[in-house]
Structures are given as C-alpha cells and as structure tokens.
Amino acid sequence: MDTGSERMVAATEGAIGWMIFNHPARHNAVSMAMWQGVVRIIEAFEADPAVRAIIVTGAGERAFVSGADISEFDEKRASPAAIAEYDAVGEHASQLLETVAKPTIAMIRGYCIGGGVDLALRCDIRIASDDARFGVPAAKLGLGYSFSDVNRLVGIVGPAFAKEIFYSGRQFTAAEALHMGLVNRVVPAGELKGSARALADTVVGNAPLSITATKRCVGEALKDADQRDLAACQAAVDACYASADYVEGRTAFMEKRRPVFRAR
C-alpha cells in the first residue's frame, strides 16, 4: 500500500491489518506526512472487507510513539494558520483511528509519550510490553491539553490518576499503567507481538457485525446522554439478528464446530 511516506508502513496478515509508525531514529515521533499516512491507511483498511482487525504499533524496540516530531515545527507551525492546519491534520487522523468501525489494538513497546499516549487511547484495546514507559510531559513544557484530550484520559483511568499523569509529567512503568487501567494487559517484551497477534486472531474469528455493534454502542455510551444516537445502536444490533452470521453462529453451536463468519 502506498501510504505517502516511508515512515508509515501498512501491511496485512490474514484478516489483520498492521499500521506501523516507522521512524525509530526519532522514537517514532509523528510528522505531518505521517499523520497524512495514517489517514490513507485507516481509510484503506476500513474499505477492505478482508481486514477485520487493526494492530497499531511502532517500528523497532525502543518506542511506540514518542509524540510529535518537533524538528519540523519551525517549518510546519510557523504561523497561526499553519498551526491550525497542522493540528487539523493530526486530529482528523486521530479521529479516524478512534471511530473506524473495525476493532483496533495498540501494541506498545518502549516509549509511549505525549501524543503517543493519545494515539494509544484512541485504540480499543492496549497491550504493552513490560519495558514500556508512559507519560504526558505537558506540564514540563508549558503546554495545555484540550478538554477532549483530558476527558479521554479521565474516561480511561479516572480523574485521580489523570491528574497525577498530567500534574507530575513523569514517566510511568508498564506495571503502573496496568494498575491505573491505562493498558489492558502487560506481557514480557519477547511475547508482545505474539500476544497481540493472538488477541487479534481471537477477535477476527468472531462475528464482525457483533463487534461493530458493540463498538458503536460503547462509543455512544461515552457521549453525553443528549448526544447519543441510540437509533444507530439499535440498527447495528438489529443487523446482527438479521444476518447470515447469526444463523451460522447458532448452527455452528448446535453442530459443535467453529463458526465461519462472513460479515453478512
């Protein structure tokens, strides 16, 4: 797949799509071109019926994503208009990752810092190696985080841990991240890829329409009550019961065999 940048890699492995931030020399810090690559990759995976789950990770063993590539700030953020454009591209890419209908898994090794934490939070599930390190150093840099970005972290770890993360600006170990609920699971570094792939294989073996319906319902649950599209949730649930996959699931259960789901 042409991602528009050699620093973003897309690959497929069976029903799993891999999106890889590929700038290990800078701990996979994200540039404007990389954000644009994220858009291309997510749109392509969304449109490809063969892809049923997406794993997001960073190249190398030292970092998942370490935030924005500040080396291009003088060029790409030299004026208020340029800053607005830069931020819009990054937010659009992040929103696509967050709202893609297919399940997403962040596979985190090494540094997951600043914007890297936000990217991980946009994924449905986070699995980390035991040598991963997490932090949001905004207070050390004089930066402010928007309400939506702060609220996203509060929704995952709760207000007390969110305050500790932001107030201290320090780095947290994988064990601390697990305790806070920032990640779903921590595994030895040598087992990370296999564990992430095994989890994705489990997901893609289940009914895609059921997963899509659950993701839609969870997404709506995170909104304020007056902004929830409950009709869309019900439509997604109804689509499950009207599907051939529902018939296949019941038949396979009765026949004591593994179902073969086709997303229809």
Which residue type does 260 have?
V
Q: How many CB atoms lie within 10 A of CB 146?
A: 10
Q: How far apart are CA 93 and CA 32, in angstroms?
A: 10
Helix H or strand E encompassing 259:
none
Angle, helix 80-99 to helix 115-122, in steps of 10 degrees: 30
pLDDT at 37: 96
53 pLDDT above the threshold of 90: yes
Q: From edge to edge, which strands make up the β-sheet containing 125-129?
A: 8-13, 16-21, 53-58, 104-108, 125-129, 185-187
pLDDT at 86: 82
Q: How far apart are CA 197 and CA 55, in angstroms?
A: 8
Helix (H, G, I), strand (E, B) or coil at 22: coil
pLDDT at 235: 97
End-to-end CA distance of the chain: 26
pLDDT in tens, 208-244: 999 999 999 999 999 999 999 999 999 999 999 999 9
Residues 6+ apart with CB under 8 A from 170: 135
Q: How far apart are CA 132 and CA 3, in angstroms?
A: 27
Smallest CA-to-CA distance from 17 within 130, 101, 80, 137 is with: 101
CB 21 within 8 A of CB 57: yes
Q: How far apart are CA 67 and CA 94, in angstroms?
A: 13
Phi, psi of 187, rounded to the nearest 5 degrees: -135, 160
What is the rounded average pLDDT of the residues 112-131?
A: 97
Q: Which CA distances in Å does 189 have to 54, 82, 121, 195?
A: 20, 39, 20, 10
pLDDT at 42: 97
pLDDT in tens, 150-187: 999 999 999 999 999 999 999 999 999 999 999 999 99
